[in-house]
Amino acid sequence: MKFAIAVFSPAHAPSSRRALRFAEAVLAGGHEIARLFFYQDGVHSASANVVTPQDELDVAAQWRTFIDSHQLDAVVCIAAALRRGVLDEAEASRYQRPAANLPKPWELSGLGQLHEAAQSADRLICFGGD
């Protein structure tokens, strides 16, 4: 079965970790992830500038590793990301900002990608909360 997973919370929130554990279980169960979509404060889960205290789980890094190792389609909502200062090279240069913090494997794109993923997947699961 195909899953679309939407993450609404930053890497330091328990629900971002929960989304990651769920995504791992989806693949472990032999299913497919059509797309990961990071929306609202979820865009912070994609920032390369997150520095996690040494005694805490680095969920942002775990997302990056997970997406890289399974070559997943990981889309970050562009409108949500820009207003929160999560920019790739192209947007940093377009808006003359001093730095980019959204390298590959993340892609900035629009909300239409969430809609499309919800249509093409068998299930859409959203993660937010505490």
Is 55 a binding residue for another protein by CB under 8 A? The answer is no
Interacting span for another protein (CB under 8 A) from 11-19, 48-56, 72-80, 83-91: 11-19
Q: Is 64 helix (H, G, I), strand (E, B) or coil?
A: helix
Q: Which of 15, 47, 62, 113 binds another protein (CB under 8 A)?
A: 15
| Alpha-carbon span 60 to 92, nearest angstrom | 21
Nearer to another protein, 20 or 75 (CB): 20
Residue 90: partners with Cβ closer than 8 Å, 6 or more residues away: 108
Q: Nearer to another protein by C-beta: 8 or 102?
A: 8
Residue 59 tokens read as: 């969920």
Does 123 participate in binding another protein (rule CB under 8 A)?
yes
Identity of the residue numbered 117: A
| CA distance linking residue 83 with residue 9, whole number of Å | 15
Q: Which of 36, 77, 114, 117 is catalytic?
A: 77
Residue positions annotated with a catalytic role = 77
